[in-house]
A and B are shown apart, each in its own frame.
Chain A
């Protein structure tokens, strides 16, 4: 079945909805999402969205920009970061105008609180910059954007799973999607396609990410010859619930919570004397791993404590109600009186589909755009986060660049016609589906995924080295072989979620391989990528972005310069 649209947005999280709102009214637009929009993982974001409103103390977008660049370990492109931090301010006001129920200051302004790595006067002390709605900021953003979409009659295809993107003669021609309800494959012939399909945290065992975050958008685009940028940079958030990985927002530390080891020491004093527990995430996660390695984990196990007992009932009830409840529900721990067991959890892909600041997907080191193809949000790499994202900056990113890409795509569909659709445009997707459904193999997706997640956690998480990564590369090869024999017991048409789990696993395997190759190549340590065999940052050789291409001879790596405008690289101390 072929349907024709001016533009198709893939994904209905914050980025996709924001883009759709820009496109609404500019033509015939469809939003495809494998989840009902309000189930998207943007809704899980807790802590806040960063913008230098200065509601509680002096603040400036330049300070926000400095923090973002320094937090990125100087790998972020500074032209993009400038846009991010300037436009953050109007974006937050827009959200408020759309009805987002921010928490308020006594004067009725949007409330703000401190967050990791956000400072005043270029690093002097923490600043209150994170705009929040209790610890449900992402929920409110997702709801508010979806509400606006209802108001503006945005057309959704819910529970449509995108399997492929169509590139014809150097232009984007549409996508192919699987309808969960019927099991039918639909071709969406479209002038513009905007990927906003989120991250890929499910390649790791312990993760804050939803089951659905399997990097589909990245994988689908990559298989069509488009590179992926900076995939070696994956953020581990310091405070995930022990074993489960459920996130306890940095907002807890923003409100004063403290990390402690088994000796009850506030160990961050040793690692980041100025910002302490509010140092950037890569540093705090490494500090926790070090404490554990040196035997100071609680009970000799691989976790430490997040201590909120001194914050008092009012702060917990009013500012951190959800995470307090998570600790009670999932750990049976009462944060008012007991410390909470935490460990670093796989959280955020800094890398992704390379784009320029208009959200256009670019395909080489010269930033050549691929006409009609856009990406925004966690699936994309602009790059505003470089080697390490600061807390609150993803929500800014998805909205600022969701909006810019949507606006640019709206212009594009006015000025351009459809690229011709190739013969049998859906054949790749169809083959992928029928291969799984007709497989006579005996492998179970879950068994392969178990090995993948454990191995990635063990060898490609907070600490990495050549030996581990090389072993991992071989393991991934074996898993790829096993994947060829994977089966789906469910061969039905309606809601065949087993089939889709198999397809999602295929995406994770491809992306894990890109991550490992990129991490092996980068023989330095920067931000979230820490090589124990190369513990120093090396600007002379490595102040550049990685671009990984799939070729018939395997993965080819190329490199792209970093855009530096205002801030020259310096040593990163907090």
Chain B
């Protein structure tokens, strides 16, 4: 099929303002959008810049706005996008070059929720036991690949860039609801601040954006409840 990619371009070395580049290519309907971007970069314009690595939706490198929606370029096929495809960088992060954005602040927020198991006391010789039911409680939020799509799609984040954002809350949830973790209090202090979970207005954009099908809003709701009742 013939597709036209309309890509928002910006090169800090040259451009004062972003501009739109248009590229017509021949492609298979079953190609990934990432394949199409690669085609442009490899054969038409080597300066086109974006991040990518795994090419099958597990590393979280290539979230971008595709026809207005945050998606991973490697996880969407051309046959679902039509012949005219608009591609822009994710909203809410500083654009560095073309589709590549600055994710440092996003990742710093992730790191701020103490995303690691906190335990006190000696470790058992073998594994700690955890029932399949307890394991299931946080299964959904273990899937996060830190792609940034949810936070970028969140109107509360657009309104207030300091808001910790859905991705960080998802990662806090992953530990708060892990029966082995003993860091609940510390983590809840962090989430219970002005820029913490209470900024969430339950708008559901994050759920729609998440390429890992994490029910982000539900996770945030569970964290809110845990904060209100001070227990998980």
Bound together, the chains give a CA A488 to CA B48 distance in angstroms of 12
Looking at chain A's contact residues, is the secondary structure mostly helix, strand, loop, or mixed? Answer: loop
Contacts of A26 in B (CB 8 A): none
In the bound complex, residues from chain A placing their C-beta under 8 Å from that of B135 are 101-104
Closest Cβ neighbor of B52 among chain A residues: A211
Min distance, Cβ A129 to any Cβ of chain B, angstroms: 15
Interface centre among B47, B127, B139 (most CB of A within 10 A): B127
Interface-lining segment among B17-25, B57-65, B189-197, B224-232: B57-65
Using a Cβ–Cβ cut-off of 8 Å, how many residues does chain B contribute to the interface with A?
59
- Let me know if A35 and B127 touch, CB within 8 A: no
In chain A, residues 111-135, which have Cβ atoms closer than 8 Å to a Cβ of chain B?
133-134
What is the size, in residues, of chain A's interface with B at 8 Å between Cβ atoms?
59
With beta carbons under 8 angstroms apart, the residue of B54, B114, B178 that contacts A41 is B54
Please measure, in the bound complex, the distance between the C-alpha atom of A16 and the C-alpha atom of B22, giving whole angstroms: 40
B56 close to A108 (CB less than 8 A): no
Chain B binder among A164-172, A282-290, A477-485, A489-497 = A489-497
Query: With contacts A38-B145, A93-B127, A498-B41 known, is A492 near B117, CB below 8 A?
Result: no
Q: Name A35's contact: one of B53, B129, B134 (CB within 8 Å).
A: B53
Q: Nearest residue in A to B129 (C-beta to C-beta)? A: A108
Partner of A44 from B12, B58, B97 at Cβ < 8 Å: B58
Give chain A interface residues in 349-371, CB to chain B under 8 Å.
none
B198 contacts chain A at the CB level, 8 A cutoff: no
In the complex, the answer to whether B77 meets A330 with C-beta atoms within 8 Å is yes
- State how many angstroms separate the Cβ of A495 from the closest Cβ of chain B: 5
Q: Is B105 an interface residue (CB 8 A)?
A: no
Nearest chain A CB to B190's CB is how many angstroms away? 14
B54→A44 contact, CB < 8 A: yes
Contacts of A99 in B (CB 8 A): 116-117, 175, 178, 180-181
* Chain A residues within 8 Å of B77, by CB: 329-330
Say yes or no: A106 contacts B61, CB within 8 Å.
Answer: no
Main secondary structure on B side of the interface with A: loop
- Which residues of chain B have C-beta atoms less than 8 A from A104's C-beta? 129-132, 135
Cα A297 to Cα B142 with chains together (Å)? 39
Residues of B within 8 A of A105 (CB): 132
A553 at interface, CB cutoff 8 A:
no
A140 close to chain B: CB less than 8 A: yes
Task: Report if A212-B131 is in contact (Cβ < 8 Å); known contacts: A136-B143, A139-B145, A492-B47.
Answer: no
Interface residues in A422-447 by Cβ distance below 8 A to B read: 444-446
Q: In the complex, what residue of chain A is closest to B135 when comparing beta carbons?
A: A104
B55 touches A210 (CB 8 A): yes
Cβ-defined contact, A39 with B115, below 8 A:
no
Contact yes or no, A109 B53, CB < 8 A: no
Whether A495 and B97, one on each chain, are in contact in the complex, defined by CB atoms closer than 8 angstroms, is yes
The docked-state distance in angstroms from the alpha carbon of A108 to that of B127 is: 9
Of A144-152, A464-472, A537-545, A556-564, the one touching chain B:
A144-152
Interface string of B14-56 (1 = CB under 8 A from A): 1000000000000000101000000001110111011111111
| Interface presence of B146 (CB below 8 A) | yes
From B14, B54, B125, B131, give the contact of A210 (CB < 8 A). B54
- Within 8 Å by CB of A497, from B49, B103, B119, lies B49
Nearest residue, chain A, Cβ from B47: A490
A104 to B131, CA, bound (A): 7
Q: Are B127 and A444 in contact (CB under 8 A)?
A: no
The listed residue (A41, A92, A133, A492) touching B11 by CB distance below 8 A is: A492
Whether B12 contacts A489 by the Cβ 8 Å rule is no
Task: Report yes or no: A35 in contact with B56, Cβ–Cβ below 8 A.
Answer: no
Contacting residues of chain B (142-193) with chain A, CB-CB under 8 angstroms: 142-143, 145-146, 175, 178, 180-181
> Separation in Å of the A233 CB from the closest CB of chain B?
24
Give chain B nearest CB distance to A555 CB in angstroms. Answer: 29
Q: Do the beta carbons of B61 and A107 come within 8 Å of each other?
A: no
Q: Is the CB of B116 within 8 A of A148?
A: yes
Out of A106, A322, A446, A492, name the residue touching B13 (CB < 8 Å).
Answer: A492
Q: What are some 16 contacts across the A-B interface (CB < 8 A)?
A: A38-B59, A38-B146, A93-B127, A97-B117, A97-B127, A99-B117, A101-B135, A101-B178, A106-B131, A150-B111, A151-B114, A244-B56, A246-B55, A322-B58, A492-B14, A497-B49
Q: Contact residues of B with A, CB < 8 Å?
A: 11-14, 30, 32, 41-43, 45-47, 49-61, 75, 77, 96-97, 100, 103, 107, 111, 114-117, 119, 123, 125-132, 134-135, 138-139, 142-143, 145-146, 175, 178, 180-181
Please list the residues of chain A having a beta carbon within 8 angstroms of any beta carbon in chain B.
35-36, 38-41, 43-44, 53, 92-93, 96-99, 101-110, 133-134, 136, 139-140, 143, 147-148, 150-151, 181, 210-212, 244, 246, 322, 326, 329-332, 444-446, 488-490, 492-495, 497-498
